[in-house]
Amino acid sequence: MHLKKSLLVVLSGATLLATACSNNGEETNGAASSQPATSASTASASATASEAAKPEKISLRFMVPVGTEFANATLPSADKDFVKQAIEEKFNVDLKLDYMVGGEDYKSKMNVQLAGGDIPDVFIADGAASQKYATDGLLADLTDYLNEEKVPNYYKWVKQSELDSYQLVGGGFNRGILPFMRNQYPAWYVRKDWLDKLQLQMPKSYDEMLEVMRKFTNGDPDGNGKKDTFGFSTSGNGASVPLEFPQWLANGFVADFQIANDVFVDNRTDLGVQKVIQGIIDMTNEGIIDPDWFLSKYPGHLDKAAQNKIGIIFSGEKNAALEGDANSLQTRTKAIDPNADWQPFNPFPDLPAIWKNGVPETSVMVGKAVAEKNPEKVARAFEVLNWLAGEEGYLLTHYGQEGKHYTKEGNKITLIPEAYNADIANAGNWLGIYRFFTPDEPAVLGLEINDPRISPRDQAILKTVASYPKHDALPPVSLLPPEGTNIGDFRKEMHRLHIKMIFEDKSAAKWPEYREELMTKYTGRTIFQGYTDQINAVLKDKKLNAFK
Amino acid sequence: MNQTLAQTKQQAASPKSSARRKALVSLYRGRWMILMMIPGLLYYLLFHYLPMAGILIAFQDYNLMKGIWKSPWVGLDHFMTLFRSPDFPQIMKNTLLISIYRMIFNMVPDMLLALLLNEIRSKWFKKAVQSITYGPHFLSWIIVYGIVFSFFAPGAGLVTTLFRDWGWGELNLLTDPNYFRSLLVVSDLWKNVGFGAIIYLAALGTINQELYEAAAVDGAGRWRKMWNITLPGIRSVFILLLILRMGSILDAGFDQVYIFLNARVFGVGDIIDTWVFRQGLEQLNFSIAAATGVFKSVIGLIFILGANKLAKKVGGSGIW
């Protein structure tokens, strides 16, 4: 038999299969795109008929990250999506949100779109990515769009001085700051009911914390007769050592950067990391940490905690332990174990800070190509953003519809949890997706929230968590890696070495050696000296010493 | 006058025009076939030939804003960067190893499964087995990874727990560099073996049944029949698939590897495609990514031509 003939056999077989498979792929695509299109056409028909004075209908597409607490959120159908309806009616637009949990995958998706020239009208990305876009000349100048006159509500959240110092030196005004949480709520949480069962005290120091982890691992705190619980867990996403490990703070490293003894410190590559890694190795050897932490993808460890398997976690979500929140860790754990009681604690009461204050880290941007071709689109998009940052938009995106999901008297908002849970929290918890532009800080708009779900227990928790000390890590300046360095490669190698020490070397003895390689071969020293210089440029009274 | 001129012209052109007529007639006869071919041709034109213009950016310092026409030319700089990169020897080795493993451990089982299925006489049983084995092909790698993770997670995995409970020690398949490539190949096997067998089954179907009958008359047993009729019957399909796979020898299965990869197995699992993904889409170095793509294609072309030539020499016929 000739090969040509067999090629025919193979090809005909392959086409048959290909047609069968391709149906599969198309179906999902079609389902995603068809829904906004239909709603748009009906809306536009009615709009043009009734109000001729309205500006021309425009379609807008935003690419936005959503918070990890909304990792499982999905938008409802257009008829139930009252935010979409409100925006589309008010601004005569056809709004499409591309949303995804922020992180590496988000960034990749963003980059694919930019590379393909399929640029969203407004997009949001972290500081490092936006620097790259800015230096590549992808971004439009925002002077005409982002100013007190055009978006007054935005300036309730972000100060002009912050915007100015956020811009890259010599880079023009092209990166808006995404309104950010000024108050941070980092805390460790422990299963108080497990503590009580094993007759333990709330841990007040790092050593006590480790002791509790040991007991939680070996003492069968859930009483099922099996050794299936762990003291601590976190999510390494198969890539890195999270800052959630208590060993960082135990060795004086607060969050990612800090200034100590008049020197800029990159916490994750400081010499002291040796002790941090050694601490994690010791913890691993004792078996008190969930061995799946490294491969676990966020929020995998929280899911595990909700399954009654983990005794201590770290969280930056202020709602983590609230029983009033239908989607909190507390509520989810309680569904499995009715006695579950997550309580915050601070194992480092003597430290001046356990985390940094909120800083602008995320940028709002517009593509140059979009602004040049379609300035009207950008202007309209910023009208929408302004509305989202204002009281009306804030209320709608955070609490739902007035009269239905909350009542309003002056600046006092009283929530109606039953309606909220039925329409939103238990219907995909989708409202959180629209909160991309405003953090959960009603005080900024002078609103006072009365949430009947917040029990005295929850109130106490909120108060405790808010009381944990935070500091300003760095003066307000946007740090840019110097020309010729590659911060991406540097961090990747850094993560790899951290992991290598924990799992392969099983010892941190080689860290000084590894670090030197990072500092020289991977240009770490050049990067951080560059950062030091940039900080010195804005410091008025004193100057930092050279980075070593 | 005019008429005569035209007539002479026609006469002069008559042998030629009859050939053209023939061609036209055959075109007309096959008009529906040609019409049906157009979408396929368009597909290749639009999605395979037009994008080739993008190769240009491999020789440029490509900038998104400037586009293909205005980005500065840099010649072979990006290829030099690629070959000089400290990662290059490693990703090359990983890619080739994983690819060759896949070739051996996926093609042979595909064929074996097809042979086994071919020997089954009970029709419903054959169909059931076939459906079950090719079902996993339609799962996405994300889901397959989810399944693999729940079996082999170092702490709570089903198999890991079993292993531990039986006192055989710790099992760390997902993060152990020694097992990572095997894990890739085996999970790929699980996912695709049934699907791969279909092509061999099709080839088996084309074997003339009379040959078997004649062999039976001559007193050949099952093994004899398989050795002398079945295997030669599908040999050419096997060689063909081998040649086609040669062309993609530098593709080691991005979809799967990207999802399975973690920082601990970078040394054995980082392949050209994952590297390109990082360069191109995570760091926006499009030109280096494109240069790598061109390099891969050239190697693929060489391999496919070479394999075809070899097949011609050894078996007497190639694909073209």
Mutation choice for B interface testing from A118, A295, A505 by most B CBs within 10 A: A295
Find the CATH number of the domain harbouring B132.
Answer: 1.10.3720.10
Segments forming the whole domain that contains residue B162: 60-315
pLDDT at A25: 37
A140 belongs to a structural domain: yes
pLDDT at A10: 56
Share of chain A above pLDDT 70, in %: 90
Q: How far is B22 from chain A (nearest CA, A)?
A: 27
Task: Give yes or no for residue A98 having a pLDDT over 80.
Answer: yes
B261 belongs to a structural domain: yes
A451 belongs to a structural domain: no
- Token pair 């569904």 is found at A335
Q: How far is B201 from chain A (nearest CA, A)?
A: 10
Q: Are A125 and A459 in contact (CB under 8 A)?
A: no
Task: Give yes or no for residue A33 having a pLDDT over 70.
Answer: no
A136 belongs to a structural domain: yes
10-residue mean pLDDT series, chain B (320 residues): 50 67 88 92 91 85 78 86 86 93 90 90 90 91 92 87 85 87 93 90 88 88 88 86 85 90 88 88 84 90 88 76
Residues A229-242 have pLDDT tens digits of 999 999 998 889 99
Is the same domain home to A215 and A348? yes
Indicate the residue among A422, A443, A464 that finishes a domain.
A443
Segments forming the whole domain that contains residue A491: 187-356+473-538
Which chain A residues are within 8 Å of B155, Cβ to Cβ?
230, 290-292
Whether residues B263 and A10 touch (CB distance < 8 A) is answered with no
Q: How many domains does chain B have?
A: 1
Whether residues A4 and B239 touch (CB distance < 8 A) is answered with no
- For range A176-203, the mean pLDDT: 92
Is the same domain home to A63 and A207? no
Q: How confident is the model at residue A11 (pLDDT cuts 50, 70, 90)?
A: low
Chain A, 448-467: which have a CB under 8 Å from a chain B CB?
Answer: none
β-bridge mates for residue A100, sequence order: A65
Whether residues B206 and A107 touch (CB distance < 8 A) is answered with no
Q: How far is A142 from chain B (nearest CA, A)?
A: 17
pLDDT at B247: 83
Q: Are A89 and A44 in contact (CB under 8 A)?
A: no
Instruction: Say whether residue B315 is in contact with chain A using an 8 A CB cutoff.
Output: yes
B105 belongs to a structural domain: yes
Q: How far is B83 from chain A (nearest CA, A)?
A: 17
Instruction: Say whether residue B90 is in contact with chain A using an 8 A CB cutoff.
Output: no
Find the range with the poorest average confidence among A24-28, A46-50, A392-396, A476-480: A24-28
Whether residues A7 and B319 touch (CB distance < 8 A) is answered with yes
The DSSP letter of residue A503 is I
- For range A307-320, the mean pLDDT: 92
Identify the burial level of A80 via C-beta atoms within 10 angstroms of its C-beta, where 0-12 means exposed, 13-18 middle and 19 or more buried. middle
Is the same domain home to A205 and A325? yes
B16 belongs to a structural domain: no
Q: What is the CA radius of gyration of chain B?
A: 27
Whether residues B317 and A2 touch (CB distance < 8 A) is answered with yes
Which chain A residues are within 8 Å of B90, Cβ to Cβ?
none
Q: How far is B141 from chain A (nearest CA, A)?
A: 14
Is the same domain home to A275 and A403? no
Q: What is the CA radius of gyration of chain A?
A: 26
- Give dist(CA B260, CA B152) in Å, integer: 12
| A229-A230-A236-A238 Cα dihedral, nearest 10 degrees | -60
Q: Are A358 and A318 in contact (CB under 8 A)?
A: no
Nearest to A400 by CA among A459, A361, A449, A355: A449
Task: Give yes or no for residue A292 having a pLDDT over 80.
Answer: yes
Q: How far is B9 from chain A (nearest CA, A)?
A: 43
Is the same domain home to A74 and A141? yes
* Residues A71, B271, B177, B161, CA torsion sign: positive
A269 belongs to a structural domain: yes
Is the same domain home to A149 and A100? yes
- Give dist(CA B164, CA B175) in Å, integer: 17
**pTM passes above 0.90:** no
Q: Kindly report the CA angle at A121 between A120 and A126, in degrees rounded to 5?
A: 65
B280 belongs to a structural domain: yes
Nearest to B262 by CA among A240, A313, A3, A26: A240
Nearest to A371 by CA among A161, A192, A140: A140
- Give dist(CA B152, CA B170) in Å, integer: 11
Whether residues A499 and B264 touch (CB distance < 8 A) is answered with yes
A458 belongs to a structural domain: no
B182 belongs to a structural domain: yes
Q: Are A253 and A536 in contact (CB under 8 A)?
A: no
- Which residues have CB under 8 Å from B24's CB, separation 6+? none
Find the range with the poorest average confidence among A2-6, A422-426, B106-110, B292-296: A2-6
Is the same domain home to A238 and A312? yes
Whether residues B64 and A115 touch (CB distance < 8 A) is answered with yes
Is the same domain home to A272 and A321? yes
Cβ pairs bridging A and B (under 8 Å): 113
SS (H, E, C) B193-219: HHHHHHHHHHHHHCCCHHHHHHHHHCC
Q: Are A76 and A430 in contact (CB under 8 A)?
A: yes
- Give dist(CA B134, CA A17) in Å, integer: 11
Which chain A residues are within 8 Å of B239, Cβ to Cβ?
3
Chain A, 284-313: which have a CB under 8 Å from a chain B CB?
Answer: 290-292, 294-295, 304, 309
Pairing of strands A230-232, A310-315: parallel
For the record, the structure tokens of B317 come out as 């016929």
A459 belongs to a structural domain: no
For the record, the structure tokens of B276 come out as 């390109």
B146 belongs to a structural domain: yes
A42 belongs to a structural domain: no
B73 belongs to a structural domain: yes
Q: Are A40 and A94 in contact (CB under 8 A)?
A: yes
Is the same domain home to A307 and A233? yes
Q: Are B200 and B242 in contact (CB under 8 A)?
A: no
- Give dist(CA A181, CA A359) in Å, integer: 8
- The phi, psi pair for A200, rounded to 5°, reads -115, 160
Whether residues B65 and A136 touch (CB distance < 8 A) is answered with yes
Pairing of strands A122-126, A58-66: parallel
- Give dist(CA A136, CA B67) in Å, integer: 12
Q: How confident is the model at residue A83 (pLDDT cuts 50, 70, 90)?
A: very high
Instruction: Please name the member of B263, B281, B319 whose beta carbon is closest to the beta carbon of A496.
Output: B263
Is the same domain home to A371 and A431? yes
Chain A, 211-230: which have a CB under 8 Å from a chain B CB?
Answer: 230
Q: How many domains does chain A have?
A: 2
- Give dist(CA B227, CA B232) in Å, integer: 7
Which chain A residues are within 8 Å of B240, Cβ to Cβ?
3, 6-7, 10
State which residue of chain B sits closest to A287, comparing Cα positions.
B155
User: Within chain B, how many helices (H) and strands (E) appear?
Assistant: 16, 0
- Give dist(CA A247, CA A502) in Å, integer: 13
For the record, the structure tokens of A319 come out as 């709602």
A218 belongs to a structural domain: yes
Is the same domain home to A344 and A269? yes
B9 belongs to a structural domain: no
Find the CATH number of the domain harbouring A95.
Answer: 3.40.190.10
Q: Are A173 and A141 in contact (CB under 8 A)?
A: yes
Which chain A residues are within 8 Å of B283, Cβ to Cβ?
132, 486, 488
Is the same domain home to A489 and A416? no
